[in-house]
Chain A
Amino acid sequence: MGILLGLLFHGFAHAYTGITIIMSASTPTNLEFVDHFKQELINEKQPNLKVKVINLEEVEKLVVAENSELVIALGVKALSLASKLSFTTPVLGVFTPLPAYNGLLASSGRTLGAFSAIVLDQPNARRLLLIKTILPEAKRVGVLMGPTSMHDADNLIEVAEKIDIVINQKNVYQESELIPKLSAILESSDALLALPDPFVYSRETAQSILLTSYRYQKPVFGYSQPYVQAGALAGVYTNTKQLAKQAAEIAIKSQLAIDGLPPPQAPKYFSVIINRQVGRSLKIQLSDEESIHKKMVEAEAKR
C-alpha cells in the first residue's frame, strides 16, 4: 500500500532531520502543543529531530530547509501559509478542520504525500458511538446541517445505519430557519447531534440552540469541549496532548519513509466530556468519563 502511494506521489524520499512548527498565533493551546510535542519526542528517544517554533507574525524568519524538514502547521492560517512552501516540503496540519484542509489542498495544488493533517473532526462513527454508549435506547438522532456540514450527511447516515440509528436531518439555509427547524427536529428525535458548522453552531447561536433543546428536554451532543461546557450533554474531543502524541508518531514514522506523510487522518486518541449537571436535569444516568471512554475504545477496537 505504501509503495503504491509512494509511486503515485512522485516517489519523494522525505528523510528529514528537523521539524519547524508554525503557529497561527502563540495561543496557550499552541504553546501547550509545542511542549507536549517536544516531550513526546523525548519520550520516544528522538533527540535528532530538532524542533524550531515560529509564530505567524514573525514569518519573515521562516527558513525551511527544503526536503530535510517537516513543517507542522498549527491552525488554519499557519497551514495556509505552509501550503505555499515548496511542494517537496512535507507539511502536516494540526488544529485544522477537515473542510479547511480540503480547501487548502485544492487551492495549493499540493499532493497528498507532502501535505497531510490531523483534522479536528472526530469520525462520525465515534460521534454516534458516544450517543449509543450514553443513550443505548436512542433510535432517532437529529442533525441540523448548514452549508459546511450538509455534505457530510451521506457518510453520517451510512455510519448511523450500521448501528441502527436513524438520522433526522434538516438543512438550514437562512438564519431565520434555525430555531423553527431545530424545534421540528427536537420534536421527533431522541437527541441532537451538533456538527461543526459556523453557520449553525456558533457563539451567537449557542444560547438559542441550547435553551430550545433544553426546553424540549432533549440532550445535545456537542462537537467540542467548550460546547459541552456551554450546555450540551456530552461530546468527544481530542485534547492538545493527544494531538501532540499523534503528530509525534507521524513525525517519527514518516522521518525516513519513502512514501512521505500518511493521508490526512482523524484524531486517533480522544477524550469524552460530559456535563453532569445537564445530565441530571434531563434525568439521564451518566457513568464517569473514563468508563464511557473505555467502553467506546473497546467498541471501536471491535469494529
Chain B
Amino acid sequence: MNFFKYTFFFIFALFSGNQLFASEEVSVNETSTKEADTKKLVEIEAWPLLISGKDLSEDDYLGEVPRVLTVSRLSQPLSDTPSAVTIVDRATIRASGIVDLPEIFRLVPGMYVGVNAGYVHNTNHVISYHGMTSAYSGSMQVMINGRSVYTPLFGGVNWSELPIVLADIERIEVTRGPNAASYGANSYFGVINIITQNPSDAPNNSIIATHGNGRNEMFYRHADKVNDFTYRLSTGYRQDDGLDNRNDFKRTRLLNAQADYRINDKNSLELEFGLADGARGEGDINEDPFIFLPRTKQMNNHYQLIRWRHNINQESDFVLQAFHHYDRSDDQTTSVNLRPLLGIFGPFLLNDKITIKNEVITERFDIEAQHNLNITKKIRAVWGGSFRRDMMYAPFYLGTNKTDYFDLQRLFGHAEWQAHEKLVFNAGAMIEHNDFTGTDVSPRASVNFKLNPNHTIRLGASSALRTPNYVEEKFQRAIKVPTAVPVPNNTLLLQQDANKGNVRPEQIISREIGYLGNLGLLSIDTRLFYDTITDHIRFRDRNDFVAPPGFTLLDPDPSTPGVIEDINNGTNFGSAKVTGVEAQVKWLLMDNTNLLFNYAYIHVRGKENQLKKNFVNSAPRNTVSALLNHRFNQNWDASLAYYQTSEVTSLGDGDPVDLTRRCDLRVARKFNNGRWNGEVSGIVENLLNTRYEEFADYNTLKRRARINVSVEF
C-alpha cells in the first residue's frame, strides 16, 4: 500500500511540477496554477513517506562522482590505433557457436588455427599469424585482462588449461602485427588480449551446459554486489573427448573469480584468481609404440592478480598490477619391454622397462607499473616498467633437478599525437632485458591520415623481438636406460634435445599500409603488409653431440651408422619475407542480418633448402572465414560459419595438410519468463562432414554436433 501512496504522491508532485515548469517557459495560466494549488492539499498526508525514500537533493547534481572513464580506461578509436586491430565481441563468439576458445581466432584475418592432438606436453590448438606455424612457437603475446598467459616452456598457450569459461569473455582484442612497444615480451606476430566481463555486467546467476559429440560441460556463474564490492565467480566441469583417433581427452575442473572494490573516488582495486585441475590423455601408439605409451597425466594450475588503479587527476592515471601464476603437470610413463628392441644391448639392461617421470612446474611472478597521461590536449602517453620472473622445474626436459629462473625487466613508453584533426602520429618503444638474450629495443611508429570521419589510411612500421623459449634454449631431453654391466658405460642414452643455448632473439620488422573505411552499412579493415624476419629460431639436428662420461649414446636410426640424427638444437637459421594482404569486412545486409567476412593472402619467401621443412609453406597461402547471422524474430536466430584454409606444412611437429573447408551451423532460441531467461541452441560443426586434417596428418576432423542450454536467473 505504501508503495502506491508513494507513487501517487510523486505522480502528483511531479505532474504539478511539470505544469509549473511549463508555466515559466510558455505562459502562466489561471487553471494550471489553481490545479496545483488544490492538489497539494490532498498530498500532504503522503509527505512522511517521501522523505523515507531515496530523495533527490542538490548533492545529486553537485556532489562528486567517481571518475570512471579515466585515461587508462579509454582506448584509442580504431582509426587512431597504430596497428590493425580485430575485435571479437561477445555477440560474435555466441553466434559462431564455438565451444573451444582458440577456435574463435579463425575469425581473425591472417590467423591460422589448427586442432592438434600433439604429443609433448601439448594436446592443444596451434595458433599462428603470418606463418612459422609450429606446435611450439611462442610468437604471440596472449593475455587475459592484461595478464600474460603464455607458458615460458614453449611460448604458446595451453588453451584448455586456462581457468576461463567462454561466457566470461566480454571481448577479445587481437592486434595483428608486432606490438612489443605496448604489450611487451612475445608480442611478435601479434597480441591477443582477452577481456572478461565486468562483474557488474554479469547476470546474478547463470548456468550454461553443453552436451554433444565428445563434449560435455556445465558451468555455473554467480555475480553480486555488496556495497562497493562487486564480484563474479565462475565454476564448472568440462569433459572433452578430443579426436576420435587420438588419446587426447581432457577432464577439467575450473574456478575463477573477479572482483572490483572501490576504495574511494580516486582508488580502486581489482582482484582476480582462478584455478583448474584435471586429467589429460597423453601418448599415442601410432607415434611411439615403445616408450611414450597412452597414459593419463594430471595437471593443475592457479593464478592470483591484484591491480590498483589510482586516478591522479582528470589528466592522468596510475595503475599498479601484480600477478602470480603456478602450473604443474605430472606425467609418468612406463615403456614396453626394451630388451628385444635394443639389439646387442638388450641382454645387458638392468630392467625390462624404464619409467620416465616428467613433472613440470612453471611459476610466474610479474609486477608492472603504468602511468597514463595527457601531456597536452593533443598528446596522450603511457609509460611504465615491469619485472618478471619465470621459474621452471622440469628435470626430464631440462636435464637437471634444479629450478631454472628466467628474469625479464622492461621499460616501455608510447605516445599518441593528434597533430591535426586529420593526422595522428603514434610512436613507442620498449627496452627489454632478459636472462637469455640480454638487452633489446623494440621501436614502432605509425601515422594515420583521416581523410574524413569514414576513411582512414594508416602507414606503420614496427619491430619486435622474440626471445627463445625453454624448448629452444635450454631443453636437454634424453631417455636414459640403465644397464647392469658397463657396455662400455653404465647407461644407454637416447638424446632428443641438446641445446647449446646462446640463441639470439628472432627479429621481425613489419611495415604496413592499412585502410579503414565505413561505407554506410559496410565497414572494411584491410592492409598490405611486408614483414622481414631475421635470425629465425628453429631446431636443427645436432651432429656434434658427445655423450657425457658414463653414458653410451644410442643411434635412433641404425641405417646410417656413425651419424646421430634427430638431436634438436635451437639455432638462429634463415630469414624470411612475408608479404600479403588481409581484409575484414562487416556488412549489415539487412536490419537483422550481419555478415562478417575475412580474407588473407600470405606469401612467405625464404631460402633454407637444407632443412626438411621449409617455412615457406608454414602459412596457408589463402584463408577465408565468414560468419553470417540472421535474427528471424525476438526469439529465433541462426548463424552459418564458413572456414577455408589452403594447404599448409607447419614446422615443429606439423605435417603437410590439404586444403580444408568447414561449415558450421547454429540455430538458437531464446526464452524469457519474467524470473529467468535463457537460450537453447543446437550447433553442427562441419555440417557437410568433410573429412580433413589440420596441422598434422593424425588430426582428423569430422562432423560434430552439440546442444547448448543457458539459463540466467
Contacts and interface: CB of A to CB of B under 8 A. Distances in A.
B438 interface: no
A174 to B, nearest CB: 11
Given A155-B18, A211-B198, A147 B62 contact: no
A116 B226 CA distance: 40
A103 B47 contact: yes
Interface stretch (A11-19, A60-68, A92-100, A289-297): A92-100
B590 interface: no
A237 to B, nearest CB: 8
B548 interface: no
B198 A208 contact: yes
Contacts of B64: 203, 226
Contact of A5 (B33, B200, B230, B421): B33
A201 B56 CA distance: 11
B54 A199 contact: yes
Interface string B265-301: 1000000000000000000000000000000000000
B10 A147 contact: yes
A227 interface: yes
A98 B36 CA distance: 14
B544 interface: no
Nearest to B40: A106
A210 B69 contact: yes
Interface in A124-178: 125, 147-148, 151-152, 154-155, 176
Contacts of B43: 106-107
Contacts of A106: 9, 12-13, 16, 39-40, 43-44, 47
Contacts of A111: 37
Contact of B30 (A8, A98, A214, A278): A8
B40 A76 contact: no
A1 B204 CA distance: 56
A168 to B, nearest CB: 16
A120 to B, nearest CB: 5
B24 A262 contact: yes
Contacts of A47: none
B62 A227 contact: no
A96 B262 CA distance: 29
A57 to B, nearest CB: 17
Contacts of A258: none
B672 to A, nearest CB: 11
B67 interface: yes
Contact of A202 (B21, B44, B60, B67): B60
A229 B77 CA distance: 19
Contact of A210 (B13, B41, B63, B68): B68
Contact of B76 (A105, A215, A281): A281
Nearest to A151: B14
Contacts of A276: 377
B4 interface: no
Given A112-B33, A198-B60, A263-B20, A5 B28 contact: yes
Contact of A231 (B44, B47, B68, B374): B68
A277 interface: yes
Contact of A264 (B21, B39, B41, B453): B21
A277 B24 contact: no
Contact of B201 (A1, A119, A208, A280): A208
Contacts of B453: 283, 285
Contact of A107 (B36, B44, B60, B75): B44
Contact of B69 (A5, A196, A278): A278
Interface in B200-234: 200-201, 203-204, 228, 230
Contacts of A103: 13, 47, 50, 55
A103 B7 CA distance: 13
A188 to B, nearest CB: 11
A197 B204 CA distance: 24
Nearest to A226: B65
Nearest to B171: A215
A266 B25 contact: yes
Interface residues of B, number: 75
Interface string B26-58: 011010011011011101100100100111111
Contact of B17 (A101, A196, A207, A275): A101
A6 B30 CA distance: 11
Contact of B63 (A204, A226, A265, A283): A226
Given A99-B56, A226-B62, A230-B66, A8 B200 contact: no
B58 A75 contact: yes
Nearest to A176: B204
Given A152-B14, A224-B60, A278-B74, A1 B47 contact: no
Interface string B67-93: 111110111110110000000000000
A281 B77 contact: yes
B57 A100 contact: yes
B60 A281 contact: no
Interface in B93-130: none
A154 B28 CA distance: 20
B11 interface: yes
B65 A223 contact: no
Given A109-B40, A231-B67, A196 B54 contact: no
Residue in A96, A112, A207 with the greatest tally of chain B CB atoms within 10 Å: A207
Contacts of A230: 65-69
A97 B60 contact: yes
A81 interface: no
A184 B668 CA distance: 19
A198 B56 contact: yes
Query: Which of A1, A75, A204, A230 gathers the greatest number of chain B CB atoms within 10 Å?
Result: A230
Interface string A245-279: 00000000000000000111110000000011110
Contacts of B80: 280
B77 A280 contact: yes
B200 A208 contact: yes
A277 B374 contact: yes
A257 to B, nearest CB: 14
Residue from B12, B14, B24, B64 having most chain A Cβ neighbours under 10 A: B14
A266 B13 CA distance: 16
A7 to B, nearest CB: 10
Contacts of B61: 95, 97, 120, 196, 223-224, 237
A98 B21 CA distance: 9
Contacts of A24: 58
Contacts of A125: 25
B282 to A, nearest CB: 40
Nearest to A125: B25
B405 interface: no
A206 B64 CA distance: 11
Contacts of B25: 123, 125, 266
A197 B14 CA distance: 13
A59 interface: no
A262 to B, nearest CB: 7
Contacts of A95: 58, 61-62
A151 B62 contact: no
Interface of A: 1, 4-5, 8, 24, 29, 75-76, 95-103, 105-107, 109, 111-112, 119-121, 123, 125, 147-148, 151-152, 154-155, 176, 179-180, 183, 196-199, 201-204, 206-208, 210-212, 214-215, 223-224, 226-227, 229-231, 237, 262-266, 275-278, 280-283, 285
Given A215-B198, A283-B453, 8 more contacts: A5-B33, A8-B33, A102-B20, A147-B6, A147-B7, A208-B200, A211-B69, A231-B69
30 contacts: A97-B57, A98-B17, A99-B14, A102-B14, A102-B20, A103-B13, A107-B43, A120-B58, A123-B21, A147-B53, A151-B10, A179-B201, A197-B56, A198-B56, A199-B54, A206-B68, A207-B66, A207-B68, A215-B170, A224-B60, A231-B69, A231-B70, A237-B61, A264-B21, A265-B24, A266-B21, A276-B377, A278-B69, A280-B74, A282-B77
The 10 closest A-B pairs by CB, nearest first: A231-B69, A208-B200, A151-B14, A106-B40, A230-B65, A210-B68, A102-B13, A95-B58, A281-B74, A231-B68
